[in-house]
Amino acid sequence: MAAEKIKIATDIYAKLMKHKMVDRNESVLRSYFDDTQVHDLVQHIARSFGTIILEGHEKLQLISDGKESIFATSFTHLKEKYSDIENKKEFYLLCNILMIYLSEIDGDLTVRSRYELRGLSLFRLEELVTNVFSYWKEKIASEEDYEKKWSMNIREQVEFWLSKDLKDDSNKLTPSMKNKFSIMKKALNLFENEHLLNVILEGDEHIVYAYPELFERIEGLFHNYERYTMLRDVIVEAKRRKEVEVNGSN
């Protein structure tokens, strides 16, 4: 009996390893929910491989329990998966863009419903990123220890972003480092490839729609990372101060 349950647990974990997300109604998961011993064995296997099983409303997610990044993946691992990410500077720029996006959708049920139903346009996301980076540029210039205070090395990222044009002349959105829209698409691809969001062209605008699994990951995983909550609060403050400044000048 013990050997049979170990095999069932191993099969369940193998399914999660292969697909990263598995619908709760899949027959292979029945024992995970119905048999406490199988459930505990799967959890033990997950921990032994440095992973976390996030039990969402509709799906189970298998997530790497990474310590180097709030996105639970190291640069080395990401480089193996996405060969077009050339260096750590680019990697951290993409991560900061995702952090700014997450800080915008991370809120109560009203906030979540708004971004699930209406999405967030890339024009609005670009405005948010530019506001945050412009604020950081001002703080770096006025406070010598600003980067050290928040353990951020952002000077080069900020200069790189602010030097870029908004987008090219076409409505085609291609991930690259050539312009702001393309950079945002490259960042969002990291979540889109994990089936956490989708970028859709509606009329003349590209809209980012977050899936329920992304909100579950925010609540069930990211909120447990002190680094995430610290950066989120820094970004929220930067957005608030910059928008007050912009509105005050109008």
Question: DSSP string spanning 167-219?
Answer: --SSS----SSSSHHHHHHHHHHHHHTTTSEEEEEETTEEEEEE-HHHHHHHH
Q: What is the pTM of this model?
A: 0.85
- Listed as ranges, residues in the chain with pLDDT below 70 are 1, 66-83, 246-250
Long-range contacts of 109-115 (CB under 8 A, 24+ apart): 112/215, 115/209, 115/210
What are all long-range contacts of 81-86, with beta carbons under 8 Å and residues at least 24 apart? 82/189, 82/190, 84/175, 84/186
The confidence score (pLDDT) of residue 8 equals: 95
Mean pLDDT, all residues of the chain: 88
- Domains of the chain with bracketed CATH: 2-64 (1.10.10), 75-249 (no CATH)
Tokens of residue 165, six digits: 């044009």
Q: Beta-carbon neighbour count of residue 176 at 10 Å?
A: 13
Percent of the chain at pLDDT exceeding 90? 59
> What local confidence, expressed as pLDDT, does residue 72 receive?
44
CA end-to-end span of the chain, whole Å? 73
Identify whether the C-beta of residue 61 lies closer than 8 Å to the C-beta of residue 20. yes
User: What is the pLDDT at residue 249?
Assistant: 65
By the 10 Å C-beta count (0-12 exposed, 13-18 middle, 19+ buried), 249 is classed as: exposed
Q: Residue 81's pLDDT is what?
A: 63
- Position 179, amino acid: N
Q: What is the pLDDT of residue 66?
A: 62
pLDDT the model gives residue 160 = 95
pLDDT of residue 71: 42
Q: What is the pLDDT of residue 250?
A: 60
- Output the pLDDT for position 80: 59
